[in-house]
């Protein structure tokens, strides 16, 4: 099913879109919903509620002289909902892979989430598709993942690395502003147009004289 839908996954339109879609993926409990709510509503809740399937919030932003509507999608971080992958990834402009710096297992799971992302991206989109890794919950003690380890993983996977705290709003604004600018930069990249016509050049026959039409 993935292959039959993949060609619809992300088509760059001929017109300039004024909206974009950012996807948050990662294990359950790493703070994806908290990051989304902090950015959109400037609000944090310590009451954990697992996302069922997917959820999203929209925010209108003004950045670099443009007004954009940003949709931020928060996906369930459980195996149960991974079959929804194609539908959730479709139309995405950027992906944020989130882990909890106090949970080594959530960091190790990035391999799985990154692989799933690559399965959804068209091969020609992969080199330029913006990806960032977010080490969330830096306000907590007992970190199990070092900054150096996370930065190395991100570098090896061509991703930007941020450390953030949804609770204290640390780097949350910076993360999403980077994502928006990365998408805009990606859209401005020149595309190689496919030729829609064949141009034939008429050359005179040897001898230097053109044949004239006798009609």
pLDDT of 124 over the 50 cut = yes
Domain boundaries, the chain: 2-8+16-188
Task: Identify the pLDDT of residue 184.
Answer: 94
pLDDT tens figures, 129-156: 999 999 999 999 999 999 999 999 999 9
Lowest mean pLDDT among 74-78, 149-153, 210-214: 210-214
pLDDT of 199 over the 60 cut = no
pLDDT tens figures, 149-172: 999 999 999 999 999 999 999 999
Task: Identify the pLDDT of residue 211.
Answer: 47
The correct answer on CATH 3.40.605.10 for the domain covering 2-8+16-188 is no
pLDDT of 96 over the 60 cut = yes
Alpha-carbon distances of 24 from 120, 162, 164, 201, rounded to whole Å: 14, 14, 14, 53
Q: At what angle do helices 32-41 and 172-188 cross, to 10 degrees?
A: 90
């Amino acid at each position: 099913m993935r292959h039959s839908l993949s060609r619809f996954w992300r088509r760059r339109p001929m017109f300039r879109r004024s909206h974009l879609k950012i996807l948050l993926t990662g294990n359950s409990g790493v703070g994806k919903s908290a990051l989304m709510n902090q950015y959109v509503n400037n609000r944090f809740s310590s009451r954990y509620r697992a996302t069922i399937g997917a959820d999203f919030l929209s925010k209108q932003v003004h950045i670099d002289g443009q007004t954009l509507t940003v949709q931020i999608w928060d996906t369930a971080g459980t195996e149960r909902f991974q079959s929804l992958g194609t539908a959730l990834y479709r139309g995405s402009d950027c992906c944020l892979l989130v882990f909890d710096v106090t949970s080594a297992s959530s960091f190790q799971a990035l391999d799985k989430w990154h692989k799933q992302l690559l399965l959804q991206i068209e091969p020609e989109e992969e080199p330029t598709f913006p990806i960032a890794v977010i080490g969330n919950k830096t306000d907590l003690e007992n970190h199990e993942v070092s900054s150096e380890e996370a930065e190395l993983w991100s570098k090896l996977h061509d991703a930007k690395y941020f450390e953030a705290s949804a609770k204290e709003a640390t780097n949350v604004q910076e993360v999403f502003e980077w994502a928006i600018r990365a998408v805009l930069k990606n859209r401005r990249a020149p595309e190689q147009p496919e030729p829609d016509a064949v141009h034939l050049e008429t050359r005179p026959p040897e001898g230097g004289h053109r044949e004239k039409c006798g009609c």
